[in-house]
Amino acid sequence: MRDRPSDTAHRRALERKLGRALLPAEVVHHANEDKADNTPINLNAKARNVHSSEHNRRRGLSKLRASLRMERERKRLY
C-alpha cells in the first residue's frame, strides 16, 4: 500500500512536519478526515493499532446510531 503516490505524498508531508522519518508502525492520520488535505496542521502520526481502533469505534457508533434511529422510526409506524 505504501507504494501508491497518494500514500507517499501525505507520509512525506508529515515527515517534513516532524523532521524525521515515520516509523514502520506509524500511520498518517488526517485530523479532518479529508485524505486529499495534506496540510501540515491536518496530519498527525499515530500507531497503526491506535489509529485503527479509533476509526473502528467511530464506525461502530455510527452504525449504532443508525440502528437506533431505524428502531425509533419503526415504532412510530406502528
Say what the pTM is: 0.58
**What is the residue-averaged pLDDT of the chain?**
78
Q: Which three cell numbers stand for residue 44?
A: 498527525
The full DSSP string for the chain is: -TTSHHHHHHHHHHHHHHTSPPPTTEEEEETTS-TT---GGGEEEEEHHHHHHHHHHHHHHHHHHHHHHHHHHHHHH-
- Domain locations in the chain as residue ranges: 5-77
Q: What pLDDT score does 32 carry? A: 85
Per-residue pLDDT tens digits for 35-44: 888 999 989 8
Q: What pLDDT score does 73 carry? A: 72
Q: What pLDDT score does 65 carry? A: 64
Per-residue pLDDT tens digits for 49-65: 887 777 666 665 566 66
Confidence category of residue 17, pLDDT binned at 50, 70, 90:
very high
